[in-house]
Amino acid sequence: MQRVGYADPSTFTVGQKSELERTPINLTRMLLHCPAPMVKSFYDFAWTFRSGNLEPRIREAVILRMATLRCSPYELEHHVPAAKLAGLSDGEIDIITSAEPSGLDEKLSLILRLAEEIAHQGKVSDSTFQSLKPLFSTPEIAEATLLAGFYEMTACFLETMGVGLDQHAVNWKELDKQEL
């Protein structure tokens, strides 16, 4: 349920227009209630995850799990296609987005545990951290932690502001070709 209208494009600064052109989705339309430099920083940070330390399928698993835990249909709408492009099967996606995921390989299971603990406890437990270390590098664990937090924050914004679903999901193939 949309709580407020999207930012009024007739009042946009050049910077705001640029951000909407860069990422023309409803999330941007709502984010543009904030100053353009803040929106730009939000997206600059978001796009860094596309070329970070994590394998694409691990990255998308974290995002889908956070979207599921935070009941964010908007994030799911945009990231199920990204997850498929990243190599996750329909079956894996169904498991990741289920109430109690099980039956995944060890890496996916552990990264979902990281997401679960961040969502429920605000941090990863010592035992989970120790379990992650043989399969993930310290940079990967650090990035997965930031990624989970970023998508938790984004879900909070989407739900608080009542951002509606877009008519079309993001075209990830085209987006990855752009220099953002």
Instruction: Please state, for a pLDDT cut of 70, what percent of the chain lies above it.
Output: 98
Q: Is the pLDDT of residue 81 over 90?
A: yes
What confidence tens digit (pLDDT) does each residue in 22-70 have?
Answer: 999 999 999 999 999 999 999 999 999 999 999 999 999 999 999 999 9
What confidence tens digit (pLDDT) does each residue in 141-175 have?
Answer: 999 999 999 999 999 999 999 999 998 877 777 76
Range(s) within the chain of domains with CATH label 1.20.1290.10: 53-161
107 in Cβ contact with 141 (< 8 Å): no
Q: Please state the pTM of the whole predicted model.
A: 0.94
pLDDT at 178: 67
pLDDT at 118: 98
Q: Which CATH number fits domain 53-161: 1.10.10.10, 2.40.50.140, 1.20.1290.10, 3.40.50.970?
A: 1.20.1290.10
